[in-house]
Structure 1
Amino acid sequence: MLRQPKAVLAVAFACVIAFMGIGLVDPILKPIADELGASPSQVSLLFTSYMAIMGVAMLITGAVSSRVGAKRTLLAGLVIIIIGAGMAGLSHGVTGIIAWRAAWGLGNALFIATALATIVQSAKGSVAQAIILYEAALGVGIAAGPLVGGVLGNLSWRGPFFGVSVLMFVALVATVFMLPATPRAPRKTSLADPILALRHRGLLMTGLTALLYNFGFFTLLAFTPFPLNLGAIPVGFIFFGWGVLLAITSVFLAPRLQRRFGTLTSITVALLGFAVLLAIMALFTDSRLVLIVCVVLAGGCLGVNNTLITETVMKAAPVERGVASAAYSFVRFSGGAVAPWLAGKLGEEINPHVPFWVGAAAVVLAVLALNLARRPLAHIDQEPEHGAPAEHSEDEAEFVTAGDA
């Protein structure tokens, strides 16, 4: 994976830092609630505002990138994240943090959609191998994020926000100097292209699958720290274990399962495993040990799912990969934005078991949605390039924009 053009490695490094930003916040959810007098559902809006804006903003990423080029789009996203995270750390109330997290989501949308499409297009090897590289960056970032967030959060809940700004500044400098200038796309992507792409049933159902499993994912991420009732550092270590297993399975286990059982069957098994773990957490919410073990094991299920469903998106419809990524992310994030808030609200007003039951049920519905699309997605494992090297030369360093990816 490391034998890639310099430009690809630069973006992969920036992806590691970007995904650290997700996990950095997790260990400080309860400290923020305690110090600022906020409820779990209020604090969970840090995820909801972030995802809602990121999902809607995905519709403009292709249009922006195809007009100004990938490098400028990536840099714009990083600058917005730096400002949003820094200002969140300077805020004195939950409302201010939520608002700046929304700005952070805009920056992440510009960065992530462009990064995924360009890595897939520019990396040496097959589409599957490029996605494994992307998911490896995701896994390393998610694994390291809670650990760094726990250490910084132990000093102050503001620490992780300032940490994101500093790390994103490092990523910004790396992108400026390691990435060559990128031309504008030969064809400008319109704002309507991602919406029109959802006419393809395979892409639409894959997006709905991700929307539904996000209910389980963000129940795990945004609500579990409350019944755990631990400090920032212990929560950081727990989710570090989760992220490590996610990274390992996304890189090593997912491709083997795919070759042995096929893409859709492997995703189905991973999601069913995740649903079972959420059901166990619902039954034994009062057991801290059960919650810890299930959180870590869930990383294995999500690692397999993330790698394979991302590859499915890239091949689901006969549209440009940047457009497919934007359409999928729009459905996934904007629709799933309610999940963190809903989990907190259910835990407050009913009992802490209910959010996990709802998450488990949503993941089962995700399995049904995926399998309703088996026919339009049947070609995924039959494509000639499946697992085969892509046509990139050894010295190729061209960096393609999301618009023409």
Structure 2
Amino acid sequence: MWRQPKTVWSVAFACVIAFMGIGLVDPILKPIADDLGASASQVSLLFTSYMAVMGVAMLGTGWVSSRAGAKRTLLLGLFIIILGAGLAGTQDGVTGIVAFRALWGLGNALFIATALATIVNAARGSVGQAIILYEAALGVGIATGPLLGGWLGAHSWRYPFFGVSALMVIAFVAVIATLPATPPTGQHTSITAPFKALSHRGLLTVGITALLYNFGFFTLLAFTPFPLALGAHEVGLIFFGWGLLLAFTSVVVAPRLQRRFGTLPGMVGALLGFAVILAVMAVGTDSKAVLATCVILAGGFLGVNNTLITETVMKVAPVERGVASAAYSFVRFGGGAIAPWLAGKLGERSVHLPFWVGAGAVVLSVAVLLTARSLIDATDETLAEAHSSVEEEELEAEAMTVGDA
């Protein structure tokens, strides 16, 4: 799995930088609110605008990449992120930051959807192994984002934005230097292809599951820094621990759980575990130690779920991988964009309420997921048959080698 062409490593490195943007603003949410005199719900719009634009823009990523080619699409996305992140750091009001976070989301949409398809298509090994590499990049990016945000944010809330912009310049150069030219295939993807893909019951069900689970995910991400009431550096370290555990379980634990129990039981267990974590946070919101511990532990469940649900999306629908990724991301990010703002609004009434709502949404996601049991189980059966065929071929090759000797 780790013997990959430089194309895969180049795109994976750029993914790490791109995913830093998700957790980067966590440590500086409260400093921004304090410095600019904004409420929790107003500052949470940094997540909402980012996610909403990213979700809607996902619908057009296949249309763009099929005409411009994967490399140009990746570079366009990176260039837009460089602009969005850099200009966000120059603003003197929440409205301006929110607007340029939206631009940042547009760049992320072009980059992320194309990057996932590029890694899956270019990587050696199975689709599952390629997705583990992608999730590893996601985990490392999410882990280092809060750490970088906390370190730079301790000096000024503007510095993390400038930092991401600078790192994206490095990623931009790396993609130019290492990714070979990828001209358009000639098969243009329709702008309506993601909508048509959602007519497939399995893909739509998994997308709605992710939408509901995102309510819990972004409650944790966007609201927890406010009741924690710690400095940017401390919040960054807590979410760094969360990201490290997420990266570890997505790469190491998720594949083992999948082999031992199956994809559906693995996702259900991870989601229910995350719901319990959110419920504990709802009860113990007044304790910084409880919140910090639960944030870190939540990373373990989220890492397992992220890997298994992404692999399921790539396999459950009979459509091109780029189209499946775009359709799934549209539902997941577009619908889930309301969660950060809603968490902020609920938190203004009661600091316990956002966590209860998040836990309820995650439990509901399990109920939705179980309606697609037969479709998900079928992907496991196909995977088992493929593994069995490979093992038989290896045994036959070994027997022929021994016979020749």
Is this a same-fold pair by TM over 0.5?
yes
Larger Rg computed on CA atoms: 2
Q: Does 1:25 align with 2:34?
A: no
Matches within 5 A, 1:103-182: 103-182=103-182
Relative contact order higher in (CA < 8 Å, ≥ 6 apart): 1
Alignment-derived partner of residue 374 in structure 2: 375
Alignment-derived partner of residue 207 in structure 2: 207
**1:377 match: secondary structure:** helix
**1:121 match: secondary structure:** helix
Q: Does 1:362 align with 2:361?
A: yes
**2:189 match: secondary structure:** coil
Alignment-derived partner of residue 191 in structure 1: 191
Q: CA shift at 1:247, angstroms? A: 0.3
**1:174 match: secondary structure:** helix
Shift of the 386–370 alpha-carbon distance from structure 1 to 2, 3 Å rule, reads farther
Shift of the 384–233 alpha-carbon distance from structure 1 to 2, 3 Å rule, reads closer
Single out whichever of 238-247 and 114-123 deviates more from structure 2. Answer: 114-123
Alignment-derived partner of residue 320 in structure 2: 320
Alignment-derived partner of residue 84 in structure 1: 84
Shift of the 249–314 alpha-carbon distance from structure 1 to 2, 3 Å rule, reads same
Q: Does 1:3 align with 2:8?
A: no
Shift of the 265–318 alpha-carbon distance from structure 1 to 2, 3 Å rule, reads same
Q: Distance in 2 between matches of 1:7 and 1:33?
A: 41
CA contact (8 A) 1:126 1:388 kept: no
Q: CA shift at 1:383, angstroms? A: 1.4
CA contact (8 A) 2:263 2:377 kept: no
CA contact (8 A) 1:125 1:390 kept: no
CA contact (8 A) 2:61 2:114 kept: yes
Q: Distance in 1 between matches of 2:102 and 2:230?
A: 27
Q: CA shift at 1:21, angstroms? A: 1.5
Amino acid in structure 1 at the alignment position of 2:68: V
Q: CA shift at 1:24, angstroms? A: 1.3
Q: CA shift at 1:187, angstroms? A: 1.0
**1:375 match: secondary structure:** helix
> Which has the larger helix fraction?
2
Q: CA shift at 1:385, angstroms? A: 7.3
Alignment-derived partner of residue 75 in structure 2: 75
Amino acid in structure 2 at the alignment position of 1:98: V
CA contact (8 A) 1:215 1:363 kept: yes
Shift of the 196–296 alpha-carbon distance from structure 1 to 2, 3 Å rule, reads same
Single out whichever of 311-320 and 17-26 deviates more from structure 2. Answer: 17-26
Q: Distance in 1 between matches of 2:73 and 2:378?
A: 32
What per-residue deviation string (whole Å, max 9, x for no partner) do you get for residues 243-265 of structure 1?
A: 00000000000000000000011
Q: CA shift at 1:2, angstroms? A: 3.2
RMSD: 1.4
Alignment-derived partner of residue 394 in structure 1: none
Q: Distance in 2 between matches of 1:3 and 1:389?
A: 23
| Number of positions where the alignment pairs a residue of Structure 1 with one of Structure 2 | 390
Q: Distance in 1 between matches of 2:297 and 2:385?
A: 29
Q: CA shift at 1:121, angstroms? A: 1.3
What per-residue deviation string (whole Å, max 9, x for no partner) do you get for residues 171-196 of structure 1?
A: 00100101111021231100000000
What per-residue deviation string (whole Å, max 9, x for no partner) do you get for residues 228-277 of structure 1?
A: 00000000000000000000000000000000000011000000000000
Q: TM-score, normalised by structure 2?
A: 0.95
CA contact (8 A) 2:53 2:105 kept: yes
Q: Distance in 2 between matches of 1:146 and 1:195?
A: 34
Matches within 5 A, 1:232-311: 232-311=232-311
**1:376 match: secondary structure:** helix
